[in-house]
Chains A and B, each alone.
Chain A
């Protein structure tokens, strides 16, 4: 079974500063993907970034980067130059790959508040 742990229920960051949201995972599978989603107050789930377990380089997507440390089983999301619109709930998720089932396991989420 897979498990995702997000230990920060809430985080605050000053506008234009960088922030790191923590995520650790547990799985016995070798091939898996790690995802981050953003859920604003409106409720929709927005895909941010993906990291595969065999990817050697950390994933980056614009202001989002994923600090992947496989040995420590962590996949932290780094948001650079925070903006007010980044205030939202952020979920870390994982999915075992190379199976016929694509269910994702989600963490409990971190609420990020960006202060002006």
Chain B
């Protein structure tokens, strides 16, 4: 158990819908990262938050947004869902913003299926 929690574990929804994925980092970790793992794109970095502020952005679609709250939990919002958004979404956390090496601890993931 990495100490990173993600809910829900599984999510099945329809095209055009909107969903929210939730992540609670390890106690003491200030950085939260979101990754998407799909069959055709592999494991891709989406976005990073550090202590409530956006720190880095990767291949995140405009239909997707995220935020980190004062209690440091994070939510990833996916809207106007398409079949291609079906994937495993990971949240990871680390102590700092990676100015030096900090291991990223991954949560168990949320498996999103868009029908």
Interface residues of A (CB under 8 A from B): 33, 37, 43-47, 50, 52, 91, 95, 97-109
Contacts and interface: CB of A to CB of B under 8 A. Distances in A.
Interface of B: 2, 31, 33, 35, 42-45, 48, 50, 55-56, 58, 88, 90, 92, 94, 97-109, 111
Contact of A97 (B42, B50, B98): B98
A1 to B, nearest CB: 11
Contacts of A47: 103-106
A77 B80 CA distance: 40
B111 A98 contact: no
Contacts of B50: 100
Contacts of B94: 102
13 contacts: A37-B106, A45-B109, A46-B106, A50-B101, A102-B33, A102-B48, A102-B94, A103-B45, A103-B56, A104-B33, A104-B45, A105-B45, A108-B42
A44 B103 CA distance: 15
A91 B90 CA distance: 14
Chain B interface mostly: strand
A104 B101 CA distance: 12
B55 A106 contact: no
Contact of B43 (A50, A99, A106): A106
B33 to A, nearest CB: 7
A108 B38 CA distance: 11
A44 B100 contact: no
Given A99-B98, A101-B55, 12 more contacts: A43-B88, A47-B103, A97-B100, A99-B99, A100-B56, A100-B99, A101-B48, A102-B33, A102-B102, A103-B33, A104-B104, A106-B44
Contacts of B92: 45
Given A101-B48, A101-B56, A106-B43, A44 B98 contact: no
Contacts of B42: 106-109
Given A103-B45, A103-B48, A106-B43, A52 B101 contact: yes
